[in-house]
């Protein structure tokens, strides 16, 4: 046997040994991960049940149960992370195993050793949620209004400038202002816990890691800048219409719009004031709210409509337990609940629920479709192991929840389900439809972008408790072009008046979802062989589109999100592994061209360096010794005169 052959045989033996060693590691890790997924699924089910009890019945007893399970989960995650550290990830040949093992190792704040700190974090979070959910604005001594449905109805329907201003301020006094010191402590403790392991600079850094993209922050900024001209033109048109309604003298000269005039407590979407803004009155769709009420819609009917849309794409029906266990309306027994709509997966394969204080309105119908979309996602990836039961990134879940809204709101679909008699025709009807959609989809973009710009800045320490509120309004004035209708100070905490701040729900996911849903919509419309403009595409009843959508949904988070995006868009004009603003811009192109014509001679934009009605100090005004002496002298002179 030649020396060369001996060398080759030696190499083959070594390679065989290495391969055997790697396969042995795979077998060991697979057994561990299967056990982990079972244990985690059972504990997650326990935690979801006690959390549901708290969110649908806010009591001290239920809060204590939820806190105890939160601590149990933290201890579990920390212990499992320690177990997982014995395995050599680089020795694994199965990429799925390596991905799951990395997820187990990355435990967030649960890895912190101080259980007292973790308990305090859980209790502060529950306390802030309680403040938000129980907050009421007392219009009079005997008339106190909770957010849902009372304040929401007032903000939606009133056109009285002063009444809207009082309600806007009253909600913030009752909610955000009551939790300012709690939030300051919460941020400090969260950062303390996440920094301990040395992997993340702060909590914002940890939240951004969920997107598995080192350029994520830059990417979303560039997307926002690309979409800004569309928003700026919508803003200019809406400002002119609102000035006509309320009087230009009530608007800041810097070009901002007072924040209480949009028919939404947070000015995040503007569809509730379509009646004031409609480009061509009477040319297009009537109010869906009025039509739903005329047809005697009830809450169950609304959810059945959403279910039917997804079933038409090939998904399963919602399980019987959904209808029996969900909270679809505000309870009539007087218990305090968190009305903010949310979808729940109880991790047992059959129990999926929605918690929503649903009312019969167009806006609530959109929310119904959104929450049912979350549940459909849960049901589609149910065969994935526990660690992969999630959206490919947080924005995926929100985008999927909204994807069918681009179809169900088309005149064609509304006619199919009996909410519209005749299709709008001609350019005027088309502009009205696109404008109405823009009040939902385009108006939201800067709001969806800026909330986590504020939160990341707070976690980084760039924004401290000394200027929480100023920094908040600097961003809203700069990006949204809106301003507070009354003076604000650091006695206020307006970020806390939005649920996702006390609820600690990262918000950039919504901006991401609004971009992604248009990419998916463009791809699915092509797969459904739609002809005509993108904004008139309805994928209802297209099994081909449904099959492609379900293929992506069933992946869960088993792959990096770029792969999941490609799985849906491959072979279409929208094919990509990166987020793109182009489909959204294409969808609204006819409207943008129309707005640019309407805005000729109008100021498009606003002063982004200033924020009207901002009171820079919360301290009592201080007077100099000379000012005090002058006042005293004046008083003496007046007394001598008399």
Matching residue, tokens 């604005």: 137
- Between the alpha carbon of residue 92 and those of residues 86, 89, 96, 386, 617, the distances in Å are 13, 5, 9, 20, 58
Q: At what angle do helices 445-460 and 468-475 cross, to 10 degrees?
A: 150
Active-site residue (options: 22, 301, 465, 500): 500
Q: Are 129 and 338 in contact (CB under 8 A)?
A: yes
User: Per the structure block, which two tokens stand in for 283?
Assistant: 């040319």
User: Per the structure block, which two tokens stand in for 167?
Assistant: 């309600």
CA distance 147 to 173: 12
CA distance 284 to 21: 69
CA distance 606 to 376: 41
Beta-sheet pairing, 257-258 with 482-483: parallel
Q: Which residues contact 11 (CB under 8 A, 6 or more apart)?
A: none
Beta-sheet pairing, 136-140 with 143-146: antiparallel
Q: Are 178 and 494 in contact (CB under 8 A)?
A: no
Active site residue 371: yes
Q: What angle do CA 468, 226, 257 make, to 5 degrees?
A: 50
Phi-psi region of 388 (alpha: psi -120 to 50; beta: other; left: phi over 0): alpha
Question: Within a 10 A sphere around the Cβ of 388, how many other Cβ atoms?
Answer: 19
Q: Are 143 and 122 in contact (CB under 8 A)?
A: no
- Between the alpha carbon of residue 316 and those of residues 113, 584, 602, the distances in Å are 44, 29, 51
What stretch of H or E contains 21? helix 3-55
CA distance 147 to 135: 7
Q: Which residues contact 566 (CB under 8 A, 6 or more apart)?
A: 575, 576, 577
Backbone angles phi and psi of 316, in degrees to 5: -75, 160
CA distance 161 to 76: 53
Question: Within a 10 A sphere around the Cβ of 638, how many other Cβ atoms?
Answer: 9
> Considering Cα of 585, then 254, then 609, then 276, what sign does the dihedral take?
negative
Active site residue 500: yes
Active-site residue (options: 307, 363, 371, 398): 371
Peptide bond into 149 cis (omega under 30): yes
User: Per the structure block, which two tokens stand in for 38?
Assistant: 């079972």
User: Per the structure block, which two tokens stand in for 313?
Assistant: 């794409």
Q: Are 180 and 468 in contact (CB under 8 A)?
A: yes
CA distance 126 to 575: 43
**Number of residues in the chain:** 642
Active centre residues (catalytic): 371, 500
């Amino acid at each position: 046997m030649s020396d060369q052959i001996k060398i080759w045989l030696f190499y083959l033996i070594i390679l065989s040994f290495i391969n055997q060693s790697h396969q042995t590691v795979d077998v060991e890790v697979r057994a561990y991960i299967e056990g982990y997924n079972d244990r985690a699924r059972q504990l997650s089910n326990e935690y979801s049940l006690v959390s549901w009890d708290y969110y649908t019945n806010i009591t001290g007893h239920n809060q204590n149960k939820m806190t105890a399970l939160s601590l149990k989960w933290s201890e579990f995650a920390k212990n499992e992370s320690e177990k997982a550290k014995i395995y050599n990830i680089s020795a694994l040949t199965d990429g799925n195993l390596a991905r799951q093992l990395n997820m187990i190792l990355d435990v967030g704040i649960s890895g912190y050793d101080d259980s007292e700190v973790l308990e305090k974090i859980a209790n502060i979070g529950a306390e802030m949620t309680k403040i938000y959910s129980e907050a009421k604005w007392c219009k009079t001594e005997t008339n106190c209004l909770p957010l849902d449905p009372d304040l929401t109805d007032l903000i939606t329907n009133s056109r009285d400038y002063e009444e809207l201003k009082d309600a806007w301020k009253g909600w913030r006094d009752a909610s955000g202002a009551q939790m300012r010191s709690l939030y300051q402590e919460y941020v400090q403790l969260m950062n303390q816990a996440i920094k301990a392991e040395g992997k993340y600079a702060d909590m914002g850094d940890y939240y951004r890691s969920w997107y598995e993209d080192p350029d994520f922050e830059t990417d979303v900024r560039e997307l926002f800048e690309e979409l800004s001209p569309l928003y700026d033109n919508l803003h200019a048109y809406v400002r002119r219409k609102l000035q006509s309604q309320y009087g230009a003298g009530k608007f800041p000269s810097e070009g901002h719009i007072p924040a209480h005039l949009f028919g939404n407590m947070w000015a995040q979407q503007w569809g509730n004031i379509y009646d004031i803004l409609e480009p061509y009155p009477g040319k297009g769709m009537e109010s869906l709210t009025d039509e739903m009420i005329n047809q005697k819609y009830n809450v169950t009917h609304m959810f059945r409509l959403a279910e039917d849309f997804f079933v038409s794409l090939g998904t399963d029906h919602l399980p019987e337990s959904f209808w029996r266990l969900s909270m679809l309306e505000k309870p009539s027994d007087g218990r305090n609940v968190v009305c903010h709509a949310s979808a729940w997966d109880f991790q047992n394969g059959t129990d999926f629920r929605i918690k929503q204080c649903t009312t019969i309105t167009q806006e609530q119908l959109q929310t119904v479709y959104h929450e049912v979309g979350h549940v459909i996602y849960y049901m589609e990836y149910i065969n994935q192991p526990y660690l992969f039961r999630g959206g490919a990134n947080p924005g995926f879940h929100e985008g999927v929840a909204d994807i069918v809204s681009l179809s169900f709101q088309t005149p064609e679909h509304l006619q199919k389900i009996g909410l519209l008699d005749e299709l709008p025709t001609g350019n005027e009807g088309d502009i009205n439809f696109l404008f109405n959609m823009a009040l939902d989809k385009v108006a939201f973009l800067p709001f969806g972008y800026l909330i986590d710009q504020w939160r990341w800045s707070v976690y980084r320490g760039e924004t401290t408790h000394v200027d929480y509120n100023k920094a908040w309004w600097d961003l809203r004035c700069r990006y949204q072009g809106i301003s507070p209708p009354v003076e604000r100070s650091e006695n206020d905490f307006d970020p806390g008046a939005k649920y996702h701040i006390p609820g600690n729900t990262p918000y950039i996911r919504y901006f991401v979802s609004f971009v992604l849903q248009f990419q998916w919509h463009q791809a699915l419309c092509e797969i459904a062989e739609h002809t005509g403009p993108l904004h008139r595409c309805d994928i209802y009843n297209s099994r081909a589109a449904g099959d492609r959508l379900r293929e992506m949904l069933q992946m869960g988070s088993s792959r990096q999100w770029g792969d999941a995006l490609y799985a849906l868009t491959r072979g279409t004009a929208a094919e990509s592994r990166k987020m793109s603003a182009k489909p959204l811009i294409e969808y609204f192109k006819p409207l943008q061209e129309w707005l640019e014509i309407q805005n000729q001679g109008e100021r498009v934009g606003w002063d982004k360096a200033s924020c009207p009605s901002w009171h820079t100090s919360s301290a009592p005004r201080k007077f100099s010794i000379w000012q005090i002496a002058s006042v005293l002298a004046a008083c003496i002179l007046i007394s001598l005169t008399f």
